[in-house]
Chains A and B, each alone.
Chain A
Amino acid sequence: MLTVKEISKSYGNYLAVDRLSFEVKKGEIFGLLGENGAGKTTTFRMIMGLLEPNSGTITLDGKKIDYSITDQIGFVTEERSLLTKLTVKEQLIYYGILKGMTEETILKRLDEWLEKFGIVEYKNRKIKELSKGNQQKIQFIAGIINQPKLLILDEPFSGLDPINVKMFQEAILELKEKGCSIIFSSHQMEHIELFCEKLVILVKGKVVLSGYLKEIKKEYRKKNILIQGEISIDKLKKIPGVLEVISTAKEYQVKIESEEVVDSVFQAISKNKITKFVVEEASLNEIFIEKVGESYDK
């Protein structure tokens, strides 16, 4: 289990991370969200032992993270951290040995993952000759080849097409099943919603929202009503508590302040011809935008 307790980090007068705390249990996927410059990279670097926090502690299974246990951590960075002149095999051996593995084990696991991702033929190709998507697969394999206890995934799906995203999702869920604790960072909220049980949203190094995703969504007052049928947008907009009415090709999305407004909306359209009326929780994306925006306004 990863325990981050009250960590802070500053660069000169600039406070990059301010008293951040969270826990990631075994087999749990944790979302670390924030805009660019929010302090995510600094947090990752502190977890990886690359930077020393000014205060607070980070432990993995009760042990302080240092070079004696970094072999148990995997890291997939946002940018492709590959030496492009090396072949896939050379690159994986290089990173694997630095993780304390033997060449034999590295090659065995590499073959398994290449097979899984359907890129066996690239084993002896130079990385610079691979497509962006395939380079991303190699980077992912490099991050997990040591079967880490803790895996940090920073924007793992960038540059991937939907088929490869699905492939990665399956691989991530497989690692979770095996008990790997995963910290996941992405700007695509649908990915966070899909994977993460718990999350933290950072703004300028400070936590603005944290907790279990289900609870966050439940506690968030604003809801959306999805309607299909004949309605008057102007009429709906006049109802107190209706924030916005968005018309799409398929349906109408009515954003409301709280669950109490649902009844008023239903009453207003009840005499119309309606084929769909669904109340749903706000998306993580909406929550994120509001929380980050609020924080900037303060």
Chain B
Amino acid sequence: MTSKFWYLMKQSLNKKIKTKWFLFANIILAFVIVGLLNLDSIISFFGGDFSTDVEIILLDQSKKADEIFKTSLELTKSSLDLDHEIIVENFLKSEKELEKELKENHKVGIVLENSSDHYLKAKIISNKKIDTISYQVIVQALNNTKTQVAIKETGIASQELQKITSNISIERLILDNDAKTEDEAISLIMGTVFPTLILPFFMLVIFLVQMIGTEINEEKSTRSMEIIISNVSPKIHFFSKVLASNIFVLLQGGLLILYSGIGLLIKNSTQVTTNSSITNQFSSIWDSMNQAGITNRLPMIILATLVLMILSFIAYSLIAGILASMTVNMEDFQQIQTPIMMICLLGYYLAIMVGMFDGSILIRVLSYIPFLSCLLGPALLVVGEIGLIDIGVSIILLILLISFMIKYGLKIYKIGILNYSTDKMWKRLYKAARMKE
């Protein structure tokens, strides 16, 4: 009987993996993930106006700022890592002549004038729209130029001015390790990194539910179930499906990580010389996590997330299998799939909103509930709203639910797989739960 279990499990897994669909879906997934991670390089590769060099014609009517502007522009350009050139040439004729010349080309005209109120004022003239990045560079260079002119004219030392204009220095100390941290870095992580990390989990739950449900539904609707169940017990059949679907999602999860790794490697190798390279982006995320005090809790968060995820996969596969046993056609299967998806979707959105609703009692209570805990638990742990004890409670509740489903769900499964009643799906389920084996 043990060998039949492994055979059924292998068959189930092969049915999913050794298919053109799996190969095709993974090729697409690999391309999408690698593509999304390298979207900027791909866009640059195909070219466009965004990389066109900008030519500036500078008319310095103040007679004191042209060189300062050029220096400021160079400094701003290099700090922002522009991938195109901004070339400056002086213009010695009148403003009207400048406008006339600008109408005939795509150059940008800058007119610098003296101002009694602001030391220096500027006019930016162009025939067409200027790309956003170049515009920002120009504005920043103009601001720096104005500051330099002001320093010169007022005689204030530049260090003194920097002290006046710089932000206040804040030192952040958190005395209670379990206390919630209000650091802005957390908002950054919850708003950007976290949704990206839990999205694959959401996808895998969908794969899992679909795999186990479709298989059981197919075997039942083709009446093959009677032949299979006459040779192996429903228990063996059920657990072989549960194990196969869980191995499948873990494998698919591993492949998603692999595709992301390949994508990041490609991104890193194409951007090694720039400031936005992947190592810099990671170090920026790491800094944010460090600031938020997450890094020292990271092993605990990863471990808790893994345990919750694996247990939740098992719980999702059990419920999907039990409900699928009551289906007699694909329409029934759609009916049972929808509530499972809705629960998972609810967990996903609530996890994203954790950062927005600090201290929400509802979210905290929901984080204990199986099926939601795998998404909400790690989110609340990241923001420091719950601790290890709360995660422990979620894990215990999940284990209790899994035991309950194995004990009572298996009874429904045994009755369900041979039930072809024409009653409504949920009525069949209710009857099966009440029926004696």
Contact = CB atoms under 8 A, between A and B. Distances in A.
Interface of A: 11-12, 45, 48-52, 67, 70-71, 73, 75, 77, 79-85, 94-95, 97-100, 142
Contacts of B224: 81-83
A82 B418 contact: no
A141 B110 CA distance: 89
Contact of A98 (B218, B223, B231, B431): B231
Contact of B223 (A71, A80, A94): A80
A49 B418 CA distance: 12
A98 B7 contact: yes
A73 B227 CA distance: 11
A98 B435 contact: no
B230 A49 contact: yes
Nearest to A94: B11
A52 B223 contact: no
Contacts of B418: 45, 50-51
Contacts of A94: 11
Contact of A84 (B222, B231, B435): B222
Interface in B211-259: 218-219, 222-233
B40 interface: no
B437 interface: yes
A83 B222 contact: yes
B231 A81 contact: no
B1 interface: yes
B222 A73 contact: no
Contacts of B128: none
A79 B228 contact: no
Contacts of B226: 45, 48, 50, 75, 77, 81
Contact of A83 (B219, B230, B232): B219
B437 A71 contact: no
Contacts of A100: 4, 231
Given A52-B437, A97-B7, A98-B7, A75 B222 contact: no
Contacts of B437: 52
B1 A67 contact: yes
Which of B11, B224, B229, B232 is packed against the most chain A CB atoms within 10 Å? B224
A150 to B, nearest CB: 12
B378 to A, nearest CB: 38
Contact of B227 (A11, A12, A75): A75
Which of A94, A97, A98, A142 is packed against the most chain B CB atoms within 10 Å? A98
B431 to A, nearest CB: 8
A79 B222 CA distance: 8
A244 to B, nearest CB: 38
29 contacts: A45-B226, A45-B418, A48-B230, A50-B226, A50-B230, A52-B437, A67-B232, A67-B233, A70-B230, A71-B231, A75-B226, A75-B227, A75-B230, A77-B223, A77-B226, A79-B223, A80-B222, A80-B223, A81-B224, A81-B227, A83-B219, A83-B222, A84-B222, A97-B4, A97-B7, A98-B7, A98-B8, A99-B231, A142-B227
Contacts of B229: 50
B29 to A, nearest CB: 23
Contacts of A73: 230
Contacts of A99: 231
Contacts of B230: 48-50, 70, 73, 75
Which of B219, B231, B232 is packed against the most chain A CB atoms within 10 Å? B231
Contact of B228 (A11, A49, A84, A98): A98
Contacts of B228: 98
B232 A98 contact: yes
Contact of B222 (A49, A51, A82): A82
Given A52-B437, A73-B230, A98 B222 contact: no
A81 B224 CA distance: 4
B110 to A, nearest CB: 69
B404 to A, nearest CB: 23
In the A-B complex, list the 4 residue pairs whose CB atoms are closest, starting with the nearest.
A98-B231, A81-B223, A48-B230, A79-B223
Interface string B260-286: 000000000000000000000000000
A67 B230 CA distance: 8
A81 B437 CA distance: 24
Contacts of A142: 227
Nearest to A12: B435
B218 A83 contact: yes
B217 to A, nearest CB: 12
Nearest to A98: B231
B37 to A, nearest CB: 35
Given A80-B223, A83-B224, 20 more contacts: A12-B435, A45-B226, A45-B418, A48-B226, A50-B226, A50-B229, A50-B418, A51-B418, A67-B233, A80-B222, A81-B225, A81-B226, A82-B224, A83-B222, A94-B11, A95-B227, A95-B231, A98-B4, A98-B231, A100-B231
Interface in B1-45: 1, 4, 7-8, 11
Nearest to B237: A98
A81 B435 CA distance: 26
Contacts of A85: 218
A207 to B, nearest CB: 23
Contacts of A70: 230-231
Contact of B435 (A11, A48, A49): A11
B4 A81 contact: no
Contacts of B11: 94
